[in-house]
Amino acid sequence: MLKEKYINEIIPALKEKLEISNVMDVPKVEKVVLNMGIGTFIRNGNKDYSAIQNHLSAIAGQACTVRYAKKAVSNFKLRAGMPVGLTVTLRGDKMYNFLDKLVHVVLPRVRDFRGVNKNGFDKEGNYNFGIKEHTIFLEVPQDDVVKSHGLQITVKTTAKSKEAGRELLTQMGFPFSK
């Protein structure tokens, strides 16, 4: 649904608004990366993080991978080889389906939601923001949640500036704060 909207409505609007003559130069979303840190979960003595892994896989619609520490850091009670995070990279139709679900279903469910921060863009037009509780997603069964975890979402675009990236995501329906 969002992919068709991008092709039929967003490309012509961006072409006009950003004054781009070549259709191939119109910014688009390349990928969406979801990251979830599990370091505190592991440090509290829980060795079984499969429930959180299943939650992230259900949210993304595909399997997630475990990220391990490369170096030991004694201040964080971290040893090399310990699991520290989970990550998923979405591309193609799964990416568009996730963004559509995020913008139209998940974010409106957040209590006292006033929009996502519009200052989360880097100089290349990529957008980063965090969600404090992964339980706001409908795919997460509420009865087997032991502890709520945060989720970091990165939207990688082909935009060449902050303004172009912000305009792309605004056209896609992202609810930025005023």
What CA–CA distance (Å, rounded) separates 63 from 94? 12
DSSP-assigned states of every residue in 88-116: EEE-HHHHHHHHHHIIIIIHHHSTT---B
Domain with 37 in it: 2-171
Please indicate whether residue 123 or residue 135 has the higher confidence score (pLDDT): 123
What CA–CA distance (Å, rounded) separates 55 from 148? 11
Contact 110, 136 (CB under 8 A): yes
Structure tokens belonging to residue 162: 């902050």
Please indicate whether residue 77 or residue 90 has the higher confidence score (pLDDT): 90
Residue 113 placed within a domain: yes
Residue 96 placed within a domain: yes
Residue 176 placed within a domain: no
Residue 147 placed within a domain: yes
Q: What value does the mean pLDDT take over residues 103-107?
A: 90
Residue 64 placed within a domain: yes
Please indicate whether residue 143 or residue 84 has the higher confidence score (pLDDT): 84
pLDDT given for residue 83 in this prediction: 86
If one counts the domains in the chain, the total is 1
What CA–CA distance (Å, rounded) separates 20 from 14? 8
The angle subtended at Cα 55 by Cα 107 and Cα 176, nearest 5°, is 15
Residue 149 placed within a domain: yes
Please indicate whether residue 55 or residue 144 has the higher confidence score (pLDDT): 55
Residue 163 placed within a domain: yes
Residue 38 placed within a domain: yes
Q: Where residue 164 sits, what CATH number does that domain have?
A: 3.30.1440.10
Contact 91, 3 (CB under 8 A): no
- pTM (two decimals): 0.88
pLDDT given for residue 43 in this prediction: 63
pLDDT given for residue 94 in this prediction: 95
Question: What type of residue sits at position 147?
Answer: K
Structure tokens belonging to residue 98: 């996730």
